[in-house]
Chain A
Amino acid sequence: MTETKLTARNVDVYYGPKKAIDNVSIDIDNGIVTAFIGPSGCGKSTFLRSLNRMNDTIADARVTGEILLDGEDIYAASMDPVALRARVGMVFQKPNPFPKSIYENVAYGPRIHGLAASKADMDAIVESALTKAGLWEEVKDRLSDAGTALSGGQQQRLCIARAIAVSPEVILMDEPCSALDPIATAKIEELIDELKENYAIVIVTHSMQQAARVSQRTAFFHLGNLVEYGETSEIFTNPREVKTKDYITGRYG
């Protein structure tokens, strides 16, 4: 039994005069992984970034329509984007650990949000986040090493740990494995599967196999439109739309 976490109603996203997302409505549920697929430039990353208002950081980006988190409009004047982003975490395409130690990378979020009352609290938060990200065993003896010294896959898990450390409700992942080798990718996918128990996870991916492996629901975007959204098994075996079928059978994209 799942419940709706995020709801988008008639969302348009513009970059200046250019419309990147056209009238998208979608419900994203708790406790499962939702995948966004589609060819490059179809707007799936743009839409993802509008879910935690990261598009605010782009000067001429504009979002219209409604996006609700637990029924609350995230673009309402009363919504603080800083508080929102603590609830809706994000993992990026390229691992982007800060040029700080592993410990400090994870402690960064809890520290700015004042989540730890003492050093012991912080240690516990860091250990728990790293454990959930499946990285604790690998780094517990070198927490003071630079985060940038880790391998690409470890860096990405560190970024996931960093996101988990502030106890978000939703985790957005923007092609989190596109810079990683297959073994590191497998580890991240395994991790996503474990994490979905506690979070609503949205993953943008170029790889249809990855969408099929990790997600329960899949949304197919094309030219800024949400073409089809449904159970992953349905989308990949029995798509309703011709465009979806063409894309997943590799006719274009």
Chain B
Amino acid sequence: MILTGVFLAVIGLGLVGWFAARARARLLYTGRGSMHSMPNYHGWHMALWIIVPALIAWAAWSAIMPGLVDSVVMADPAAASLPPDAMHRDAIMAEARTLAANPNAPVFNAEAQTIAEPLRAAQTRYGLIGALIIAIVAFAGGAFGFTRIRPDFRARTHVERAVLGLLLLASLMAILTTFGIVASLLFEAGMFFKDVSPIAFLTGTHWSPGNAIGTDIDDNFGAVPLFWGTIYIGAIIAMIVAIPLGLMSAIFLTQYASHRVRRWVKPILEILAGIPTVVYGYFAALTVAPIIRDFGATLGMANPSTESALAAGLVMGVMIIPFVSSMADDALAAVPRSMSDGSLALGATRSETIKKVLLPAALPGIVAGVMLAISRAIGETMIVVMAAGAAARLSANPFASMTTVTYQIVQMLTGDQEFNSPKTLSAFALGLVLFIVTLVLNIIALRVVKKFREAYD
């Protein structure tokens, strides 16, 4: 509570420092060339010296304070009545914390009431100590910054370096997060593979984690039907739709469409790419799937299911069209104009030029685009959750319901879950496989694109 106020106070102090330093620098400014840096930069320099060290102190104190508070509360005589069991004790502490913040909160453990008061006292004490430390740091930083305001001080250089650091931090953030995700995936998947053999997981054909108890555990975690469903829906059915349509629309847009048509159609295609996948999902489930079920019935299928690989795959294909189209568009546009000119000048028609010169020349880029599209399709979740079904089935019948890796991950991680059961942990193993496959596809695709770019530069 106190620390939140301190945080705002630090920011406010930084603002004050900014104005103070700028005003001071303006007094020193006597004309063009009289100072190395403009007054604004001195303002920023000062503000940074106030805010950055103080916020580091703030973050550090926020991290260690709860531990200090807890140890003080535990030493309090009121805590003597707490049960020795660590889990129970943590629950009481959590309640006491709620009480300390809001005395009217409902309580289940009476002990929480008894330690709430010492807890609040400790929080206040340590909060004030923290505020004092942070204030000292902020004022020390500010004072140091203020003494450096001199005409020849290179405030601009320092500020720019700080901005550079900030930018570096921002770019590292995404990378570090990725590493964090990979590490957690690896860790949880490792837990899973302690119970289930990786070979059984990767080659088994029977998937029913719900039945996995006791010794036959390996037999129920065969993920091959999931991989098959994923590939069948995402890489086969969806691509049968997306590749021809995407490619043809790219050819039309780059080669035949007038400027006016292109100006309209291209943004519309891009809007299509921005539709939330959940919208495609219910389109697949409510509109396409029934049509396909009826179609299956007219084909004479005994008992066509409402959920089908075909429904999910078709809609996913439509969803991917703009993606394939824009990648193919880029690849075709990257082929130098001189190439098609050369062909046209030989008396080739436009369609001969496209078929025999442009497409072969753009092929690597198109292939890369398709690979990226596949990696998107197999990672797609909403459509398959809503339209593909839950049955882990090894079948080539597009009217059958099928399940995918992403669908199973959602299944395992929603609702009640125990984090030590192989059933839940299997989600992480599946996630790891999906991650590796898409990573490999993306790396190959990016390399192909890079090679292709080099060829025409």
Residues of A within 8 A of B (CB): 52, 54, 57, 59, 82-87, 89-90, 92, 94, 96-100, 108-109, 112-113, 148, 159, 162-163, 166
Contacts and interface: CB of A to CB of B under 8 A. Distances in A.
B342 interface: yes
A199 B356 CA distance: 28
Interface of B: 258-259, 336, 338-349, 352, 356-357, 360-361, 455
B352 A112 contact: yes
A112 B348 contact: yes
Nearest to B364: A99
B349 A82 contact: yes
16 contacts: A84-B347, A85-B346, A86-B346, A87-B347, A92-B338, A92-B341, A92-B342, A92-B345, A96-B341, A97-B342, A98-B342, A99-B455, A108-B356, A109-B348, A112-B348, A163-B345
A182 to B, nearest CB: 23
Contacts of B352: 112
Contact of B347 (A83, A99, A159): A83
Contact of A100 (B338, B348, B360): B360
Contacts of B344: 54, 57, 85
A59 B258 CA distance: 8
A94 B342 CA distance: 10
A214 to B, nearest CB: 21
Contacts of A84: 347
Contacts, number: 68
Given A96-B336, A96-B341, A82 B348 contact: yes
B258 A98 contact: no
Contacts of A98: 339, 342-343, 357, 361
Given A83-B347, A85-B347, A112-B347, A159 B341 contact: no
A93 B360 CA distance: 23
Nearest to A165: B346
A57 B354 CA distance: 14
Given A94-B338, A112-B352, 18 more contacts: A54-B341, A54-B345, A57-B341, A57-B344, A59-B258, A85-B345, A85-B346, A85-B347, A87-B347, A90-B341, A97-B342, A99-B361, A100-B360, A109-B347, A113-B347, A162-B342, A162-B346, A163-B346
Contacts of A113: 347
A113 B357 CA distance: 15
A113 B343 CA distance: 12
Nearest to A94: B338
B341 A166 contact: no
B342 A159 contact: yes
A109 B341 CA distance: 13
A-B pairs, 8 with minimum CB distance = A86-B347, A90-B345, A96-B338, A109-B346, A85-B347, A96-B342, A99-B361, A112-B348
A160 to B, nearest CB: 12
B356 A112 contact: yes
A92 B340 CA distance: 12
Contacts of A86: 346-347
A107 to B, nearest CB: 11
B152 to A, nearest CB: 51
Given A92-B338, A94-B338, A108 B343 contact: yes
A99 B339 CA distance: 9
Contacts of B349: 82, 112
A125 to B, nearest CB: 13
Given A98-B361, A99-B361, A82 B347 contact: yes
B358 to A, nearest CB: 10
A3 to B, nearest CB: 23
Contacts of A148: 455
A143 to B, nearest CB: 18
Contacts of A109: 346-348
Contacts of A52: 345
A249 to B, nearest CB: 34
Contacts of A112: 346-349, 352, 356
A113 to B, nearest CB: 6
Given A98-B361, A112-B356, A89 B346 contact: yes
Most chain B beta-carbon neighbours within 10 Å: one of A84, A87, A90: A90
A96 B339 contact: yes
Nearest to B348: A112
Contacts of A159: 342
Nearest to A57: B344
A51 to B, nearest CB: 11
Given A98-B357, A108-B356, A112-B352, A166 B346 contact: yes
Contacts of A54: 341, 344-345
Given A96-B336, A112-B356, A59 B346 contact: no
A245 B339 CA distance: 38
Contacts of B258: 59
A68 B355 CA distance: 32
B269 to A, nearest CB: 21
B340 to A, nearest CB: 8
A83 B349 CA distance: 9
Nearest to B345: A90
Most chain B beta-carbon neighbours within 10 Å: one of A84, A99, A148: A99
A166 B347 contact: yes
A85 B353 CA distance: 13
Contacts of B339: 96, 98-99
A108 B339 CA distance: 13
A113 B345 CA distance: 13
A171 to B, nearest CB: 10
A228 B455 CA distance: 43
Nearest to B346: A109
